């Protein structure tokens, strides 16, 4: 099979698009997504996620984009890269994974390989997805078709750690399939290919990556709250501590997006099913989820200190995406903060320059296109996009009236310029 791979990449978002384009340089690839508008954009070599540029489209000479299921019939490898969110009750939501699995099951042939890249709990691929494929295809797992799991590690908006530079974990349901996947991914990955002994090990490895990061940021956030009460600067404390060789440097901040703020719930869900209620993981999640409310309380405190008139306050939010230089607003804690502030103070304005405009309109957020001097009582620099911070602190503060408040949440500028930062 190695010499005749025809690959279908299902789901063309932040993960699927760069993966499909990279593979399209070496193999025949069908990039599939149900969203017709998305397919049209990609056919026109446009990527609204900003993860792929024109040169990457031009290099992928063996790729074909489609929203027609029939175009996947020739494929012998299917890579599923759809979202794996949680419900409002923070339980795993397998809708997209099961939907993608059912679509593949309708067109796959015998000896096909289905690879999952979405983050799930250990065991989910074989417990949740394989039964769907078996039921619809009428084929037998590990006899008529095979599965693999190779978790995505793309960092949206990060132009340094691109797909080919990130070590790739690879697992499969048997050795032959594993060798095929090592060969396939080895064509595009310049870093290490890391095989694991089982699919479950790979699933666990991925979910713990984001859980660890979530917990470390929670620790930094708690430190920030304590430092605020001690009236000392959190960044100075962290910088001093990081001079020790075995100190791991993490900064406080709003933890959102579709990975770090979601994945720990997959692990804790599975753990509870096994009879163990996690203590540390859930505590970290609770603290990180509370940070938007904490910042809102700090804002109220500073408004009282400066004796500003609450009724006529004009507040400007700079950045509302889930992280800097990325247009994605899914599970954005900055957007959550914006909404909390809007509930208390009606005149809240947003300037971003990176966020997906239509997505924000659906959230009833209207973006400011131009900013005028001496206009706002409060400015909150929530997401330090390059297009925002390059203006410089003097220009940013010029938008404020004389009696004002400036929050620099991530401490991008020197402390002397801000009234509050994490």
pLDDT for 316-345, tens place per residue?
A: 999 999 999 999 898 899 999 999 999 999
Query: How far is residue 121's CA from residue 83's CA, in Å, rounded to a whole number?
Result: 14
Phi-psi region of 5 (alpha: psi -120 to 50; beta: other; left: phi over 0): beta
pLDDT, residue 177, reads 97
pLDDT, residue 1, reads 61
Phi-psi region of 155 (alpha: psi -120 to 50; beta: other; left: phi over 0): beta
* Residue 191 reports pLDDT greater than 80: yes
Going by their DSSP bridges, the two strands 145-149 and 168-172 should be labelled as antiparallel
* Residue 53 reports pLDDT greater than 90: no
Identify which of 126, 127, 120 has the alpha carbon closest to the alpha carbon of residue 142. 126
**The tokens of 309 are what?**
């008139």
Query: How far apart, in Å, are the Cα atoms of 54 and each of 114, 151, 155, 255, 360?
Result: 29, 26, 19, 31, 26
Average of per-residue pLDDT values in the chain? 94
Which residues face 65 on adjacent strands? 31
Query: How far is residue 199's CA from residue 149's CA, in Å, rounded to a whole number?
Result: 6
**The tokens of 268 are what?**
């804790």
Q: What is the DSSP string of 172-238?
A: ESSHHHHHHHHHHHHTT-SS-EEE-SSHHHHHHHHHHHHHHHHHHHHHHHHHHHHHHHHT--HHHHH
Query: How far apart, in Å, are the Cα atoms of 67 and each of 15, 27, 128?
Result: 17, 19, 24
For the chain, which domains are there?
Answer: 2-206 (3.40.50.720)
Active site (catalytic) residues: 259
Query: Helix, strand, or coil here: 56?
Result: helix
pLDDT, residue 26, reads 96
**Cα angle value 332/336/341 (rounded, 5°):** 145
Query: How far is residue 69's CA from residue 417's CA, in Å, rounded to a whole number?
Result: 55
Compute φ and ψ for 14, nearest 5 degrees. Answer: -60, -30
pLDDT, residue 301, reads 95
Query: Helix, strand, or coil here: 63?
Result: strand
Query: End-to-end CA distance of the chain, in Å?
Result: 53
Query: How far is residue 115's CA from residue 201's CA, in Å, rounded to a whole number?
Result: 15
**Cα angle value 303/306/308 (rounded, 5°):** 60
Which range (120-124, 257-261, 263-267, 324-328) has the least confidence?
Answer: 257-261
Query: How far is residue 182's CA from residue 174's CA, in Å, rounded to a whole number?
Result: 12
* Residue 376 reports pLDDT greater than 70: yes
Rg (CA), the chain: 23
- Name the strands in the sheet holding 315-318, side by side, starting at the edge strand that comes first in the sequence: 348-351, 315-318, 376-381, 400-408
**Residues, the chain:** 422
Sign for the pseudo-dihedral over CA of 243, 245, 247, 253: positive
pLDDT, residue 52, reads 85
Compute φ and ψ for 327, nearest 5 degrees. Answer: -80, -5
Query: Helix, strand, or coil here: 417?
Result: helix
pLDDT > 90 in the chain, percent = 85
Q: Indicate the pLDDT class of residue 162, thresholds 50, 70 and 90.
A: confident
Query: How far is residue 256's CA from residue 238's CA, in Å, rounded to a whole number?
Result: 22
pLDDT, residue 2, reads 62
- Tell me the pLDDT tens digit for each residue of 195-238: 999 999 999 999 999 999 999 999 999 999 999 999 999 999 99
């Amino acid at each position: 099979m190695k010499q005749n791979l025809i690959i279908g990449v299902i789901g063309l978002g932040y993960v699927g698009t760069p993966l499909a384009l990279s593979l399209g340089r070496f193999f025949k690839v069908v990039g599939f997504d149900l969203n017709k508008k998305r397919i049209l954009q990609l056919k026109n070599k446009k990527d609204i996620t900003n993860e792929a540029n024109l040169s990457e489209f031009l290099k992928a000479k063996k790729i074909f984009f489609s929203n027609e299921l029939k175009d996947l019939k020739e494929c012998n490898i299917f890579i599923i890269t759809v979202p794996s969110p949680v419900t409002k009750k923070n339980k795993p939501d397998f809708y997209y994974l099961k939907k993608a699995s059912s679509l593949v099951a309708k067109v796959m042939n015998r000896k096909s390989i289905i690879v999952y890249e979405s983050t799930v709990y250990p065991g989910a691929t074989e417990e949740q997805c394989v039964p769907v494929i078996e039921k619809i295809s009428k084929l037998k797992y590990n006899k008529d078709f095979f599965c693999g799991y190779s978790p995505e590690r793309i960092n949206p908006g990060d132009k340094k750690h691109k797909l080919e530079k990130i070590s790739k974990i690879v697992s499969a349901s048997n050795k032959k399939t594993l060798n095929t996947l090592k060969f396939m991914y080895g064509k595009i990955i310049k870093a290490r290919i890391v095989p694991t002994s089982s699919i479950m090990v790979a699933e666990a490895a991925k979910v713990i990556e984001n859980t660890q990061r979530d917990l470390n940021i929670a620790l930094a956030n708690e430190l920030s709250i304590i430092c605020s009460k001690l009236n000392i600067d959190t960044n100075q404390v962290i910088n001093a501590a990081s001079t020790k060789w075995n100190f791991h440097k993490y900064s406080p901040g709003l933890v959102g997006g579709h990975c770090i703020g979601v994945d720990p719930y997959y692990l804790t869900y599975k753990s509870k099913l096994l009879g163990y209620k996690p203590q540390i993981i859930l505590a970290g999640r609770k603290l990180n989820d509370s940070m938007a409310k904490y910042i809102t309380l700090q804002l109220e405190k500073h408004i009282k200190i400066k004796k500003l008139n609450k009724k006529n306050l004009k507040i400007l939010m700079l950045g509302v995406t889930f992280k800097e230089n990325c247009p994605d607003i899914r599970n954005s804690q900055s957007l959550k903060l914006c909404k909390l502030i809007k509930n208390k103070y009606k005149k809240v304005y947003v300037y971003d320059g990176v966020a997906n405009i239509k997505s924000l309109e659906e959230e009833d957020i209207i973006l400011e296109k131009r900013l005028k001097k001496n206009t706002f009582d409060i400015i909150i620099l929530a997401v330090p996009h390059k297009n925002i911070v390059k203006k410089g602190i003097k220009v940013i503060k010029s938008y404020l009236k004389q009696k004002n408040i400036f929050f620099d949440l991530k401490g991008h500028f020197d402390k002397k310029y801000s009234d509050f930062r994490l």
